[in-house]
Structure 1
Amino acid sequence: MAMDDTYAINLAKSRFREGFNRADEEMVLSVYDSLFCDMSFGLPSFYDSDAKDVFRARLKRLFRDYSAEMAVLIIKIVLHADTAYDWGWHVLNLSDRLIGTRRQVRTRYFETWRRDTDRGWVITSFIDNLDEAPKMPEEMIWEMQNTTSDARVTRLRENDLQFSGIERSSGVH
């Protein structure tokens, strides 16, 4: 049973990949639960039908402006009865439809799944962030201890505020 479920999730991820490669937003969305949670990098979080509406709009714009080729690298799928989670990388190669420039977006992702009696396995929550070049733990620790930048500690770019409505404090609290 576990192998069949793992295969079914791999098959759904293949459908997801093919949706990108065919510029078919409905094929991409077909692997998502009708009420899912989207915590995509660089965007506000969206839930339930709002998540699907916003994701559909992102895909329509992406496929309008770019030719896309998606590669999915699954690290692991963990099954728990009628739920599962997986994580890995999405590598999206984009070619600008107007000027032909190419770029690659590589993200790390984490997904939760549920078994739907009619649709099979569907994604119930999605989280991703931009991937970074690998580093050894010692290198990261040295960087955090020996740099004046707090970007690695706060995860904000230098001198950035998380929300534009927050003002900088001039005093010490």
Structure 2
Amino acid sequence: MPSFDIVSEVNDVEVRNALEQTNKEVGNRFDFKGSDARVEHAEKVLTLFADNDFQLEQVKEVLTGKLSKRGVDIRCLDEGNIEKVSGNKVKQAITVRTGINGDEAKKIVRLIKDSKMKVQAAIQGDEVRVTGAKRDTLQEAIALIRKSVTDYPVQFQNFRD
């Protein structure tokens, strides 16, 4: 029986490379000379540091530009609140989301069931497996999900005949 998995993943190597490029560009830019602007990476959290709110926005723009150039979808970024560290210095935590959480997976399953296609969807951890009798119906399901799910990036893996 043909099947495929719907996942939401991010290439960690590309994220790390974009982060290093961002730190290098921020270190070389004239408007950041003498400032403490940088990006740190721990697990799935990127922490942006800057001297003021304007510089923080500039660092964020550089980071999103580098991520998009390296093929990382920026819809997977969850921005936290801007916090004051000391004096004028500020920081912001940005979480890199991976996997499809329970509510989003339920919405995908409901979308597939409501479409009346002859496919079955099942939640398996942080991914959704879709099975069907024909390859064409699975491709229709992929098209439906690509059109409907726009809040976060989704990929389709393990397409088996």
**TM-score between both structures, scaled by the size of structure 2:** 0.30
Greater strand proportion: 1
Greater helix proportion: 2
The structure whose Rg is larger is 2
